[in-house]
Amino acid sequence: MKEIRKQWLGSTPWQTVLNVNQSLCQAQNTAHQPKVQSFEAARQLWEKSVSQAMSLPEVLDICRQCHDLAPFVFNNGNTFAAISKTLVEEWIKSLPAVEAQIVRTTVSHYVAGQVGKKELLQVLRHAETRWLTPPASQSIPPMLEKPQAEPSAS
């Protein structure tokens, strides 16, 4: 897989993680409640990672590690899976809808521990081949492109 390193979590501070968990809990009429024994470890790991440039698999590993630490009483899996899906949204815009959904599902299932690293990397490798290539329906047929201006004879 092509190694693109960036600050994936730069726009996702720990407060965003808390807000996601709180929203999920509210929707299910459960309490947004940090676990005393693991909340601080997850927060520290997340905050340390916010400013780091990482590959996509590396940032998904951070999401998975935070999920595994289980910093919340409810919705750990849903919280970190939701965040992982937002991390890939910009990247998957160039994919056909079905492939984009496969990537979203695989990424979120990896973070929640339902898919292994091997499967994650296979899906990412497959999607990567189409990553920056616009679908045929979005490309401009040659006959519709603007004609080049003829150089003027001076």
Residue 33 lies in a domain: yes
Sort residue 75 into left (φ over 0), alpha (ψ -120 to 50) or beta.
left
pLDDT tens-place string over residues 54-112: 999 999 999 999 999 999 999 999 999 999 999 999 889 989 999 999 999 999 999 99
The answer to whether residue 1 sits within a structural domain is no
Q: Domain of 60?
A: 14-136
pTM listed for this prediction:
0.81
Q: What is the DSSP string of the chain?
A: -----B-TTTT--HHHHHHHHHHHHHHTT----B-TTTHHHHHHHHHHHHT--B-HHHHHHHHHHHHHH--BSS-HHHHHHHHHHHHHHHHHTTS-HHHHHHHHHHHHHHHTTSS-HHHHHHHHHHHHTTTTSPPGGGSPPGGGSPPPPPPPP-
Tell me, yes or no, whether 144 lies in a domain. no
Does residue 107 form part of some domain?
yes
* Interval 19-56: pLDDT, tens: 999 999 999 999 999 999 999 999 999 999 999 999 99
**Residue 3 belongs to some domain of the structure:** no
pLDDT value at residue 2? 57
Q: In the beta sheet, which residues pair with residue 6?
A: 54
Count of domains observed in the chain: 1
